[in-house]
Structure 1
Amino acid sequence: MSILKLVEDRPTPRAVYNWRIYLLAAVASCTSCMIGYDSAFIGTTLSLASFKSEFGFNEMSSATQDLISANIVSCYQAGAFFGAFFAYPIGHFWGRRIGLLSAGLVFTLGAGIMLGANSDRGLGLLYGGRVLAGLGVGAGSNITPIYISELAPPAIRGRLVGVYELGWQIGGLVGFWINFGVDETMAPSHKQWLIPFAVQLIPSGMLLIGGYFIRESPRWLFGRGRREHAIKNLCWIRQLPEDDIYMIEEIGAIDQALDEQRRSIGIGFWKPFKAAGTNKKVMWRLFLGGALFFWQNGSGINAINYYSPTVFKSIGVRGTNTSLFTTGIFGVVKTVVTFIWLLWLIDHVGRRNLLLIGAAGGSVCLWIVGAYIKIAQPENNTSDSLSGGGIAAMFFFYLWTVFYTPTWNGTPWVLNSEMFDPNMRSLAQACAAASNWFWNFLISRFTPQMFSSMGYAVYFFFASLMILSIIFVYFLIPETKGVPLESMDQLFDIKPVWRAHGQMLAQLRENEERFRNDVEAAGIDVGKVRPEQVEDNAVEPKYA
């Protein structure tokens, strides 16, 4: 199978896979650049001597330093938790585009406030700015995956939502290396630690500029009754005329999904809340979506992202500069394997298999790293160089990165963007994003204390959670690769879960064949079906 071969739910014109769809995904994914940069730069910035000197860290006890560092890092996640929920009414009433612009504006304001912090003003502006920036990225983490998934053709939906993850990793790569750069090229000073904070304004500025020009989601417009605008946007995105057979099928599927939604959940701001509390199917999928982020954070990724110098010190890496360099290599590995995930793995191997493989391989690596620390006790090693065992431990740490990044890092976001009805999608994504930020907050808040009290057992703790996640995914998460958004209800109804995907695709192919036979039976050229013929029931829509 070639790297760019597509697994399609139906014959799809080449025009559908055009530059516009990728451009829209890239602009929206500036939100994840903001998130990725922060997750990478903040921990290493706090380890800079210039930052510690300006805010008096050198005069504090280790416990106090751990507490303040944890507070600076975690107040961002606290803001993001609430931002994920605040984005729901914005996305519902004003649309995905306005939601993205609002997220960029709030983040930019927060990042600007952080730049006012210094030794005289104290850390208050830093705390306040990080909470505000967190609100912005929380909103972005809700709206961006929804926006992209609503634009995407099924065959490349995983790849396009994966652009969101790619933006996260590119931001992280810059964030991991920025402090190594300023530490290498600048003397310790106020400006040295301020530059990494100022760089946050670049991705948010790109989002504000690009967001002004992007198109609104056609599916949101259909849901708001703005049919002509929706069809116009959809034709522009697909680069196909309205009377193309592909467009007729897609519009018919959207119409049918909305009709079904009106009968089941209903259309309106409060209807999804009612469904979340009364509809068992919706409640179950909300649980699955939120739990995926528990297992994602249970892998230990955010402990490593936010406190990478502490993690590498536990393995035996010595010296601030060496630790920053090692962290930079970690960022490079993550970015490289994310490209592989984006271009090939997510839409070929599938979501479910990736989660299973990543959890199994990652768990083995963490057991080995923890065992090395338990036996060799590198914290007692006064040498500036790693031993042979330390080098092996670093190898397995980077191997863990290779297993984790193309599996659990982005795949939960893809799944959550796919598995809900259109009117439920915004609330569901808000719950999923809030779940991510809740567990992210707990990990970032208590990681310093965990390493102080648990030592090597931290790695065993995360390795055990990765094993448990295998059981969860195997029995509860169906494969969604190549399944249209409008068919997710049917997919989740099929049991057992591990056979649902094959049965769903077979049913879709049968529906496609039936539709084309009905068209031919009506004496109509398949390539010349007009919208009014579908609407007048001359032929049945594909998903009927």
Structure 2
Amino acid sequence: MMDKTRAYNWYISLVAASCMVLYGYDASVFNSVQGSKHWVAYFDNPNPQLTGAVNTSYTVGAITAGFFLGGPLSDYFGRRWGMGIGCFLTIVATVLQTFSSRGKLGCFIAGRAMIGIGQGIALTSGPVYIGEMAPANIRGKIMSFWQMFYSVGSFIAYWINYICSLHIESLGEWDWKIVVACQMLVPITLICLLPFIPESPRWYIQHDYPISYARSSLLRVRSTATEVEVEIHLIYDTLQFEASNSTSYSALWKDRSIRKRLILAFILNIGQQLTGQGTLNTYSTAVYKKVFKSSDQIALINALNATFGIIFTLNATWTVDRFGRKVLLICGTLGMAICMLGVALVSSQTPTLADGSKSENVGISIVFLLFLFIFFYKPSWGATTWIWTAEVFSMSVRAQAVGMSSQMQNVANAIFQQFFPTFLKNSGFKTFYFFFTVNICLAAYVYFLIPETKRLTLEEIHITFDGTHHDLHERESVIKVRADIDLSLVHRKQLTGKSLIE
């Protein structure tokens, strides 16, 4: 039942999830504007190396922020400040790109690098905030909107680009400037909203603030005082045991349990991009040019793809907490593998027309399979990868570990996308056999190595992974607290006829 507290949980989580709109918009914006003849002319027809540098600059900025800036800023200043700093840098960088001097591609590249830094910081704090604030029983459902907002960002970028492409002559060079400038709308809105949402109670406790700060924050997002006190007890208990090992980032490689989680999360986030989604998002225009010749038609397909991406991601909201993370990841990879195999077979076993394109029926079949690929990808490796990554790390290293893990997506993209254009040029749609193989391997990886985290509190997830000497003591402590919760639920039901959940 959606009461006032549950609604507020959704509200603050969706505010934080809006950070992902920045990523989704930016991931699509350059794929859109590089097709503008006015952008090409404005920057004196840059060669492929300079065009590639535009993408690389963003990637380098994001990786740098994710590995070295996002975690420390989020841990030192707080989750809200981390998101706010990232949004501010994105606004400054957007202005820098939009009003770059004519012919000065270096200025545009600098803006792209700054956006990468800003988003690397925001994308570290956002999922950590949601993971720490959302109740365990709906955390997966709420986190699924993190990926959906990526699709919202792509949706906005592609449709703005499509509308501008219909008015190229009247807009002139503003056909690409409008697409770039609109990127600052969401971060401006976020900066206005962030001061009015509570800071993470786990951050308050970790930084030795008075307990009243954490209690006040939790009272805004939990139904009863009993739940608040139980959760505060769990947080203190977990921090006490973490402190007995290490409270610094050195635990990422010194603590065997945390190191294991980091490696698993690294591979999961690399795998997310190697499913084929990362490449299609950047090079979908190049892929569709092998089938269609009309640029307007390709722009429309990209826009529709982003639209359906929002709808498909919503499937995660009702499946991720019901069936679990592993089921979604495995089913997603198997479905994507079938789609990639279908694209490769349809394209390679059908004739090519004299102009180098495919027949209309073949084109429709390929588009359908790539849309079906998105149907499988969005709720599984799109949403669930972020959910699992934000859940599994200990409190003392959570922000840094999430930042590093999420940026492995950009590391994978930076490496693979350097040779994918050549791969596509030389092999055509046979490259999709590669994605088919990768997805089969990822299904096996999840089945054998990824633990389930469905409906566990963050502290219980810590126990699932932890193999240190204090594991039994901590487990007994958590069991005792959970028993206290159960007793309070029974007592409340006896008095009122309703449980806390009801």
TM-score, normalising length: structure 1 = 0.83
Query: Is 1:105–2:88 an aligned residue pair?
Result: yes
In the other structure, the counterpart of 1:173 is 155
In the other structure, the counterpart of 1:392 is 365
**Counterpart secondary structure, 1:108:** helix
Once the two structures are TM-superposed, the CA of residue 167 in structure 1 deviates from its matched residue by 1.6
In the other structure, the counterpart of 1:38 is 26
Query: Is 1:246–2:219 an aligned residue pair?
Result: no
**Counterpart secondary structure, 1:212:** helix
Once the two structures are TM-superposed, the CA of residue 19 in structure 1 deviates from its matched residue by 2.1
Unmatched runs of 5 consecutive residues or more in structure 2: 468-474, 494-502
The answer to whether the 8 Å contact 1:15/1:239 transfers is no
The answer to whether the 8 Å contact 1:73/1:444 transfers is no
The answer to whether the 8 Å contact 1:32/1:165 transfers is yes
Q: Structure 1 513/16 Cα, relative in aligned 2: closer, same or farther at 3 Å?
A: farther
In the other structure, the counterpart of 1:233 is 217
Q: Structure 1 15/325 Cα, relative in aligned 2: closer, same or farther at 3 Å?
A: closer
Query: Is 1:454–2:389 an aligned residue pair?
Result: no
1:250-269 equivalences in 2 (<5 Å): 250-265=231-246, 267=247
**Letter in structure 2 aligned against 1:515:** D
2:337 to 346, 363, 372: 363
In the other structure, the counterpart of 1:435 is 408
Matched residues in 2 for 1:452 and 1:284: separation? 38
> Which shifted more, 409-418 or 15-24?
15-24
**Letter in structure 2 aligned against 1:284:** K
In the other structure, the counterpart of 1:475 is 448
2:249 to 266, 269, 272: 272
> Which shifted more, 88-97 or 454-463?
454-463
Deviations 1:70-118 (A, max 9, x none): 2222321211111113011111111111111111111111111001225
Matched residues in 2 for 1:508 and 1:364: separation? 46
In the other structure, the counterpart of 1:537 is none
Matched residues in 1 for 2:438 and 2:476: separation? 36
The answer to whether the 8 Å contact 2:71/2:401 transfers is no
**Letter in structure 2 aligned against 1:322:** Q
**Counterpart secondary structure, 1:429:** helix
**Counterpart secondary structure, 1:456:** helix
In the other structure, the counterpart of 1:535 is none
Query: Is 1:492–2:469 an aligned residue pair?
Result: no
The answer to whether the 8 Å contact 1:179/1:196 transfers is yes
Matched residues in 2 for 1:256 and 1:464: separation? 44
**Letter in structure 2 aligned against 1:467:** I
In the other structure, the counterpart of 1:497 is none
Q: Structure 1 367/229 Cα, relative in aligned 2: closer, same or farther at 3 Å?
A: same
Matched residues in 1 for 2:396 and 2:87: separation? 24
Query: Is 1:330–2:302 an aligned residue pair?
Result: no
The answer to whether the 8 Å contact 1:16/1:153 transfers is no
The answer to whether the 8 Å contact 1:16/1:238 transfers is no
Query: Is 1:308–2:262 an aligned residue pair?
Result: no
Matched residues in 2 for 1:389 and 1:344: separation? 34
Deviations 1:435-494 (A, max 9, x none): 122113224444323322332232111221111101110011011110010011322369
Matched residues in 1 for 2:3 and 2:230: separation? 16
Q: Structure 1 519/483 Cα, relative in aligned 2: closer, same or farther at 3 Å?
A: closer
**Letter in structure 2 aligned against 1:277:** W
Matched residues in 2 for 1:347 and 1:422: separation? 22
Once the two structures are TM-superposed, the CA of residue 399 in structure 1 deviates from its matched residue by 0.9
**Letter in structure 2 aligned against 1:272:** Y
The answer to whether the 8 Å contact 1:351/1:481 transfers is yes
Deviations 1:249-283 (A, max 9, x none): 21221121112212233x3xxx231x222221111
Once the two structures are TM-superposed, the CA of residue 165 in structure 1 deviates from its matched residue by 1.4
Matched residues in 1 for 2:254 and 2:454: separation? 28
> Which shifted more, 204-213 or 150-159?
204-213
TM-score, normalising length: structure 2 = 0.90
The answer to whether the 8 Å contact 2:5/2:223 transfers is no
The answer to whether the 8 Å contact 1:297/1:436 transfers is yes
Q: How many residues align?
A: 483
Query: Is 1:350–2:324 an aligned residue pair?
Result: yes
Deviations 1:107-145 (A, max 9, x none): 111111001225x34211110000001000011111110
The answer to whether the 8 Å contact 2:89/2:117 transfers is yes
**Letter in structure 1 aligned against 2:341:** W
Identity of aligned residues (%): 23
Query: Is 1:283–2:271 an aligned residue pair?
Result: no
Matched residues in 2 for 1:39 and 1:199: separation? 14
Matched residues in 1 for 2:440 and 2:261: separation? 22
In the other structure, the counterpart of 2:57 is 75
1:297 to 270, 273, 279: 273
The answer to whether the 8 Å contact 2:155/2:306 transfers is yes
Matched residues in 2 for 1:294 and 1:516: separation? 39
In the other structure, the counterpart of 1:515 is 484
**Letter in structure 1 aligned against 2:243:** R
Once the two structures are TM-superposed, the CA of residue 514 in structure 1 deviates from its matched residue by 4.2
Q: CA RMSD in A?
A: 2.5
Query: Is 1:405–2:405 an aligned residue pair?
Result: no
> Which shifted more, 154-163 or 477-486?
154-163
**Counterpart secondary structure, 2:455:** coil
In the other structure, the counterpart of 1:161 is 143
Unmatched runs of 5 consecutive residues or more in structure 1: 5-13, 495-505, 529-544
**Letter in structure 1 aligned against 2:218:** L
The answer to whether the 8 Å contact 2:347/2:362 transfers is no
In the other structure, the counterpart of 1:215 is 198
Q: Structure 1 16/238 Cα, relative in aligned 2: closer, same or farther at 3 Å?
A: farther
The answer to whether the 8 Å contact 2:423/2:431 transfers is yes
**Letter in structure 1 aligned against 2:193:** G
In the other structure, the counterpart of 1:183 is 165
Q: Structure 1 427/383 Cα, relative in aligned 2: closer, same or farther at 3 Å?
A: closer
Matched residues in 1 for 2:444 and 2:51: separation? 35
Once the two structures are TM-superposed, the CA of residue 47 in structure 1 deviates from its matched residue by 0.8
Q: Structure 1 350/381 Cα, relative in aligned 2: closer, same or farther at 3 Å?
A: farther
Once the two structures are TM-superposed, the CA of residue 40 in structure 1 deviates from its matched residue by 1.5
Deviations 1:291-318 (A, max 9, x none): 101110111112111222112123x122
Q: Structure 1 261/493 Cα, relative in aligned 2: closer, same or farther at 3 Å?
A: closer
The answer to whether the 8 Å contact 2:145/2:383 transfers is no
In the other structure, the counterpart of 1:539 is none
